[in-house]
């Protein structure tokens, strides 16, 4: 029997998960027992899952234990203001530093497939292995999108535009309410309200947001105004975003001539370095989709930099290479949206991130749920490492039907992804560890 050691990324020592306590092998068909004994099952699941785990690969890991649905609040401290004035008198005055908080919620994610082993045995190729591979792809895509959506909700928020013209009132309909729903109050993200308004500018004129209706995409304003379609709305602490051309205040202003260039990515790197954002293995990471990649290969500066590239040992086949201070990663899951004045411009949003932009907060005891229950020998459970600090449970349940033919395979992951704001360092912008580049393709 084998023992799987899951490395703990924050140096708490190895987490031991004993597979020899699961005697499901004796209850399943001989062909499946052979797969379990030589590791084929785990290898098929992992090889299908890992290529889809692109966004989670950049996440720092903070394992925790709590009840389902519970929320955990993490705290980061700011810095003291540098003291450049000589001390007068016999003592120094006490200084204070700010703190910021961000939260994660304990939720469970998973999926299952049932395989009729009679049908599988009659097939030219193993249907069971095909089902396990498909399940691995599903696990990878699911958790990749969960982490991606958390990342983009933060880094693409705080900047939108008016979609509906209106008369003088305190309501404005916008393209997205992301980044306008909360305001930092003493380092804590707090829902906007009359008591806690969010400072914004609309077409360059100061205003406040005192309420948000996410279903109608309506912002309640503190000052009445006449709405004009296309006017940009920007939060006072909106994350840094780059676009081609000039006077491009939102995706509404982008046109079909606004193509991406290497210069925009150099500006993203400069921004991250000015904010003292740590790298990931010495480089920042750019996630780009095929359309962004195709446009970059039309840019002379990009092709010249590409000639002196260094191959990435981290992303292997997913990487274009390392140059310009960036690990260039192909990623089909980079989201797009419809922009332009007529809504017909597809806006692509590659993102350049540094260390700590995303945090994985998995439930740290998922591999020991059955310990001491007396049914430890019923299922086969393997913890498959998909990314640093992200271990997905691959579960095989013995047949429950009378003919003992239908085998059930599942994956499960319990936890959440969080995005620290870094409000207390650098400038007034939230979410300083990444930069989104918006362009037409």
Contact 187, 98 (CB under 8 A): yes
The pLDDT value recorded for residue 388 is: 67
Instruction: Name which of 142, 133, 144, 140 is nearest 409 in CA terms.
Output: 133
Neighbours of 216 (CB within 10 A): 10
What spatial distance separates the first Cα and last Cα of the chain, rounded to whole Å? 53
Residues of the chain with pLDDT under 70: 1-39, 50-51, 77-81, 96-99, 123-125, 365-377, 388-389
The pLDDT value recorded for residue 58 is: 86
The pLDDT value recorded for residue 2 is: 41
Helices (H) and strands (E) in the chain, counts: 7, 27
The pLDDT value recorded for residue 404 is: 87
Residue length of the chain: 441
Tokens of 123: 């097939």
**Per-residue pLDDT reduced to its tens digit, 246-289:** 778 999 999 999 999 999 999 999 999 999 999 998 999 999 99
In b/e form, how buried is each residue of 416-428, taking b as 16+ CB within 10 angstroms?
bbbbbbbbebbee
Compute, in degrees rounded to 10, the torsion defined by CA atoms 250, 253, 258, 262.
-20
Contact 348, 438 (CB under 8 A): yes
CA of residue 246 relative to chain centroid, distance: 29
Q: How far is it, in rounded angstroms, from Cα 254 to Cα 372? A: 60
For the entire predicted model, the pTM comes to 0.81
For residue 248, what are the contacts with CB-CB under 8 A and spacing of at least 6? 254, 258, 438
Q: Which residues pair with 202 in a beta bridge?
A: 205, 233
User: What are the two backbone dihedrals, phi and then psi, of residue 105, each rounded to the nearest 5 degrees?
Assistant: -125, 135
Q: How far is it, in rounded angstroms, from Cα 400 to Cα 153? A: 42
For residue 105, what are the contacts with CB-CB under 8 A and spacing of at least 6? 69, 70, 71, 72, 416
In b/e form, how buried is each residue of 334-347, taking b as 16+ CB within 10 angstroms?
beebebbeeeebeb
The pLDDT value recorded for residue 337 is: 95
**Per-residue pLDDT reduced to its tens digit, 331-360:** 989 999 999 998 889 999 999 999 999 998
The pLDDT value recorded for residue 21 is: 42
Q: How far is it, in rounded angstroms, from Cα 11 to Cα 46? A: 24
The pLDDT value recorded for residue 50 is: 66
Contact 404, 397 (CB under 8 A): no
Q: How far is it, in rounded angstroms, from Cα 255 to Cα 344? A: 9
Contact 268, 282 (CB under 8 A): no
Name the 3-class secondary structure at 252: helix
Contact 209, 220 (CB under 8 A): yes
Tokens 């007034």 correspond to: 428
User: What are the two backbone dihedrals, phi and then psi, of residue 35, each rounded to the nearest 5 degrees?
Assistant: -65, -40
In b/e form, how buried is each residue of 387-404, taking b as 16+ CB within 10 angstroms?
bebbbbbbbbbbbeeeee
Q: How far is it, in rounded angstroms, from Cα 2 to Cα 142? A: 29
Contact 392, 411 (CB under 8 A): yes
The pLDDT value recorded for residue 214 is: 95
For residue 317, what are the contacts with CB-CB under 8 A and spacing of at least 6? none
Instruction: Name which of 351, 359, 353 is nearest 419 in CA terms.
Output: 359
Q: How far is it, in rounded angstroms, from Cα 343 to Cα 177? A: 17
Q: How far is it, in rounded angstroms, from Cα 201 to Cα 162? A: 12
């Amino acid at each position: 029997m084998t023992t799987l050691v899951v490395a703990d990324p924050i140096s708490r020592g190895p987490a031991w998960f004993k597979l020899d306590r699961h005697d499901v092998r004796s209850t399943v068909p001989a062909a499946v027992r052979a797969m379990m004994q030589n590791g084929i099952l785990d290898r098929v699941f992992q090889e299908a899952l890992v290529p889809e785990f692109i966004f989670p690969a950049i996440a720092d890991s903070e394992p925790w234990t709590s009840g389902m649905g519970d929320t955990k609040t993490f705290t980061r401290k700011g810095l003291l203001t540098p003291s450049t004035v000589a001390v007068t008198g016999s003592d120094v005055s006490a200084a204070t530093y700010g703190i910021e908080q961000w939260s994660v919620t304990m939720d469970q994610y998973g999926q299952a497939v049932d395989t009729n082993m009679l049908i599988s045995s009659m097939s030219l190729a193993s249907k069971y292995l095909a089902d396990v591979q498909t399940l691995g792809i599903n696990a990878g895509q699911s958790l990749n999108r969960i982490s991606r959506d958390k990342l983009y909700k933060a880094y693409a928020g705080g900047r939108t535009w008016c979609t509906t013209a209106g008369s003088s009132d305190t309501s404005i309909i916008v393209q997205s309410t992301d980044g306008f729903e909360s305001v930092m109050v003493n380092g804590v993200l707090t829902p906007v309200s009359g008591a806690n308004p969010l400072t914004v500018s609309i077409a360059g004129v100061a205003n406040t947001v005192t309420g948000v209706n996410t279903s109608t995409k309506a912002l309640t304003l503190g000052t009445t105004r006449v709405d004009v379609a296309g006017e940009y709305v920007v939060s006072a602490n909106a994350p840094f975003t780059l676009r081609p051309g000039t006077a491009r205040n939102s995706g509404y202003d982008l046109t079909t001539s606004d193509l991406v260039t290497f210069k925009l990515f150099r500006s993203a790197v400069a921004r991250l370095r000015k904010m003292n954002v740590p790298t990931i293995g010495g480089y920042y990471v750019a996630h780009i989709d095929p359309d962004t990649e195709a446009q970059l290969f039309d840019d002379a500066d990009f092709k010249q930099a590409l000639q002196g590239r260094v191959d990435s040992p981290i992303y292997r086949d997913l990487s274009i290479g390392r140059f310009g201070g960036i690990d260039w990663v192909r990623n089909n899951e980079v989201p797009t949206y419809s922009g332009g004045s007529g809504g017909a411009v597809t806006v692509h949003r590659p993102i350049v991130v540094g260390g700590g932009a995303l945090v994985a907060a998995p439930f740290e005891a998922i591999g020991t749920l059955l310990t001491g229950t007396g049914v430890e020998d019923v299922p086969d459970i393997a913890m498959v490492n998909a990314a640093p600090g992200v271990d997905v449970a691959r579960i095989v349940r013995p047949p429950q039907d009378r003919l003992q033919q239908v085998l059930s395979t599942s994956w499960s992951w319990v936890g959440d992804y969080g995005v620290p704001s870094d409000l207390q360092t650098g400038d007034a912008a939230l979410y300083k560890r990444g930069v989104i580049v918006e362009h037409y393709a």
